[in-house]
Structure 1
Amino acid sequence: MRSPLLSVTLSVLLVCMIGWLLVVGRSLLLPFVIALIVWYMINALSHVFGRIAIGRWRLPGFIAFPLALLSIFAIGTFVLDIVTVNLTQLAQDAPTYQRRLEDLFNQASNHFKLNDPIELKDLFPDSLVPRMVTAGAGLVTALAGSASLVFIYVLFLLFEQSTFDSKFEKLFPNSDRARSAFAMRAEINRSIMHYFSIKTTVSIATGLLTSLVLIVIGLPYAALFGFIAFLLNYIPTIGSLIGVIFPSLLAIVYYDTLGPFIAIATGLGLIQFSIGNFVEPRLMGSNLNLSGLVIMLSLAFWGAIWGVVGMVLCVPLTVMIVIVCARFEASRPIAVLLSQTGDIGLKSAPPPSTAE
């Protein structure tokens, strides 16, 4: 009989090896993970289109699926073009904004009569602002460059998805274990679909409201900041804070008075606070059942491994781990620790089959 210490040691070694593989294989895994997200979105949108009814007639699958495919890629291309144009313009204007920031530091030093004036290089490295913008433009260019690889992955996933169920069923020695695995997969799919559908809707609303506020006040790059707010809304806790900081800092440099800065910071702060504390919790409910501390640790872990993509995926990945761990007796304590209330539905979880 295997000792508990040996089991724990092997489990720790397995987790370390998986983490090392995730870090080492980041350049190979990230395009495939992005392709999985796109493939999942296409199928989800196809189901939504399939529910559209005109009287007794519903949109057939052979129309709904290509329509979902074209919609996803058209939206992706449109958003990428807008972001690229805005980032390019921002990169050209960055030296002007940096000089303006240096003037503000000089004014502050003169106002407070400091013997040692504050300089931008004391707080940030030289040419930090242009380099940050250039790095952002480089990131978008890299994403556009890997788009062809992602597109190929998505096509192969779409071509082979009709065989996934039969392959998945043949992985198990008997029908009981297969049914248990399909039930677990359905539970994971429901939880992730619930999370992404609500999170995407809320993120779109956040991005649109952010762009609207910036357009009304007159701050440039409103579309870019709206997209940033949309993307950062997927990152728990810190995403909404960063989404307010970026346009507020630009407002300090762009305008000669503090009025627009206060208006932008207040308006965007109210949007993020209202959506994050009232709208989203009411829509999301307690379906995820994740501890707040666990979400923050997961955010740090996946962010360290996969960067922004890992931060966006930290909640769905943690939900998957909780659901899978709850299905097996040996790993249920892990699911209990990761959950918010400790209730992981042990009574409803089918026991593992004892058939050989």
Structure 2
Amino acid sequence: MRSPLLSATLTVLLVCMIGWLLVIGRSLLLPFVIALIVWYMINSLAHLFAKVPIGRWRLPGFISFTLSLLSIFAVSTIVLDIVTANLSQLAQDAPTYQRRLEELFNQVSSHLDFNDPIELKDLLPDSVVPRMVTAGASLVTALAGSASLVFIYVLFLVLEQSTFDRKFERLFASPERAQSAFAIRAEINRSIMHYFSIKTAVSVATGVLTSLVLILIGLPYAALFGFIAFLLNYIPTIGSLIGVIFPSLLAIVYYDTLGPFFAIATGLGLIQFAIGNLVEPKLMGSNLNLSGLVIMLSLAFWGAIWGIVGMVLCVPLTVMIVIVCARFESSRPVAVLLSETGDVGFSGSQDSKK
């Protein structure tokens, strides 16, 4: 019988090896992971369209799937065009904001009567604002450049998805094991669908409300900041904070007074607080059953491995780990430690079927 120390050592080595493979294979894995997300979104939206009643009829599968493809393509194109246009304009205006920021530092230093005035270059590198904007534009360009590879992956996933269930079933030696695996997959799908549907709805609401507040106050690039707020809302805890900081900092250098800055910071802060602490928890409920500390650790871990994409996916990936580990007696302690309440539901009897 294998000793507990040997099992723990092998487990740690396996985790380290998987983490190493995820890091070195990032350039190959990320486009495929993004393609999986797009493919999942296409099928989820098609399933939603198929449920829409039209009198006594419902949309056939191929029509709902086609509508889903067209909808996602149209929304992606519109959003990419808006973000690209806003980033291009922001890149042109960046030197002006850089000079304005330097003037503010000089004014603060003069008011405080410093013997050695504080300059922007003392705290941040030269041309930091243009560099940040250029980095954002480079990110959008990189995403657009990898779109063709993502499209190819999505195309093959769509063409072969009819065979996935048959292949998955034949991976197992007995129908009982296959049935158990299908049950795990169905539960993972329900949890992730629940998470992404609610998270997408509240993220859209956050982005729209952010844009409306900035439009009412008169800050430029409202659509860009709305999209940033939408995207960052998928990142637990720190995403909402960053979504408030960016437009607030621009308000400091764009306006001559601090009134708009306080209005934007307060308005966006209230939006993030209301949606993140009142609306979203009420809609999400206890379905995820993840510890807050585990979410933060997962955020740091996946962010270090896959960057922004890893931060967005940290919660669904952790949910998958909890659900799978809860099904087996040997890995059930891992699920208990990752969960919020310690109640992971399953007795672990699946090990007896192995």
Instruction: Pick the TM interval, shorter chain.
Output: over 0.9
Alignment match, 1:335: 335
Give the equivalent residue in structure 2 for 1:159. 159
Distance 1:164 1:353, change over 3 A: farther
Measured after TM superposition, the shift of residue 353 of structure 1 is 4.8
| Corresponding residue of 1:251 | 251
Aligned to 2:193: 193
User: Any unmatched runs of 5+ in structure 2?
Assistant: none
Q: 1:46 corresponds to which residue?
A: 46
Quote the Cα distance in structure 2 between the aligned partners of 1:210 and 1:147. Answer: 27
Hey, what's the Cα distance between the residues in 2 that align with 1:129 and 1:350? Answer: 57
Give the conservation status (yes or no) of the 8 Å contact 2:82–2:223: yes
Distance in 2 (CA, whole Å) between partners of 1:337 and 1:208 is 37
User: Which residue is equivalent to 1:55?
Assistant: 55
| Distance across 2 between alignment mates of 1:54 and 1:66 | 17
TM-score (norm 2): 0.99
- Cα distance in 1, alignment partners of residues 138 and 3 from structure 2: 52
Indicate if the aligned counterparts of 1:177 and 1:353 stay in contact, CA closer than 8 A: no
TM-score by length of 1: 0.98
Q: CA deviation at 1:354?
A: 3.2
2:110 is aligned to: 110
Q: How far apart are the structure 1 equivalents of 2:166 and 2:99?
A: 63
**1:215: which partner in 2?**
215
Task: Judge conservation of contact 2:303–2:311 (CA < 8 Å) in 1.
Answer: yes
**Which residue number in structure 2 is paired with residue 304 of structure 1?**
304
- Report if the CA contact (8 A) 2:252-2:261 is conserved: yes
> Which residue identity is paired with 2:77?
T
Map 1:259-270 onto structure 2 (within 5 A): 259-270=259-270
* 1:88-127 matched pairs, under 5 angstroms: 88-127=88-127
Cα deviation for residue 125 of structure 1 reads 0.8
The 3 A distance-change label for structure 1 pair 308 and 122 is same
Number of matched pairs? 354
* Paired residue secondary structure (2:350): coil
Partner of 1:129: 129
Partner of 1:233: 233
Q: In the aligned structure 1, how far is the partner of 2:272 from the partner of 2:349?
A: 40
Structure 1 residue 159: deviation in Å?
A: 0.3
Partner Cα separation in structure 2 for residue 138 and residue 351 of structure 1:
48
Deviates more, 1:103-112 or 1:200-209: 103-112
Which residue in the other structure is 1:354 paired with?
A: 353
Alignment match, 1:35: 35
User: Aligned partners of 1:112 and 1:122: how far apart in 2?
Assistant: 17
Residue aligned with 1:2, SS: coil
The question of whether the paired residues in 1 share the 8 Å contact of 2:225 and 2:247 is answered with: yes
User: Which residue number in structure 2 is paired with residue 278 of structure 1?
Assistant: 278
Q: CA deviation at 1:74?
A: 1.1
Secondary structure at 1:235 match in 2:
coil
1-side partners of 2:321 and 2:234: how far apart?
Answer: 19
- Aligned AA for 2:160? E
Do the aligned residues in 2 keep the contact of 1:47 with 1:64 (CA within 8 Å)? Answer: yes
Secondary structure of 2:234 counterpart: coil
* Aligned mates of 1:60, 1:213 — CA distance in 2: 41
CA distance in 2, matches of 1:183, 1:62: 26
Checking the alignment, whether the CA contact within 8 Å between 2:50 and 2:58 is kept in structure 1 is yes
Cα distance, 1:351 vs structure 2: 2.4
SS in 2 for 1:245: helix
The answer for unaligned runs of 5 or more in structure 1 is none
Task: Give the distance between the partners of 1:353 and 1:153, measured in 2 at CA.
Answer: 38
Structure 1 residue 59, shift from structure 2 partner? 1.2
| Alpha-carbon distance between aligned partners in 2 of 1:267 and 1:80, rounded to the nearest angstrom | 26
Q: Is the 1:105–1:119 contact (alpha carbons within 8 Å) kept by the matching residues of 2?
A: yes
Measured after TM superposition, the shift of residue 49 of structure 1 is 0.5
Equivalent residue number for residue 78 of structure 2:
78
Could you tell me how far apart the structure 2 residues matched to 1:214 and 1:118 are?
30
User: Deviations 1:12-45 (Å, cap 9, x if unpaired)?
Assistant: 1110000000000000000000000000000000
Deviation at 1:127, TM superposition (A): 1.0
* 1:23 is the counterpart of 2:20: no
AA matched with 1:312 = V
Once residues 350 and 86 of structure 1 are traced to their aligned partners in structure 2, the CA distance between those partners, rounded to angstroms, is 55
Q: How far 1:4 moved relative to its partner?
A: 1.1
Q: Please tell me whether residue 288 in structure 1 is matched to residue 288 in structure 2.
A: yes
Structure 2 SS opposite 1:256: coil
Q: Deviations over 1:91-121 (max 9, x none)?
A: 1111100100000111111111111111001
Check if 1:314 corresponds to 2:317.
no
SS in 2 for 1:346: coil
- SS of aligned partner of 2:146: helix
Quote the Cα distance in structure 1 between the aligned partners of 2:333 and 2:351. Answer: 16
CA contact (8 A) 1:176 1:353 kept: no
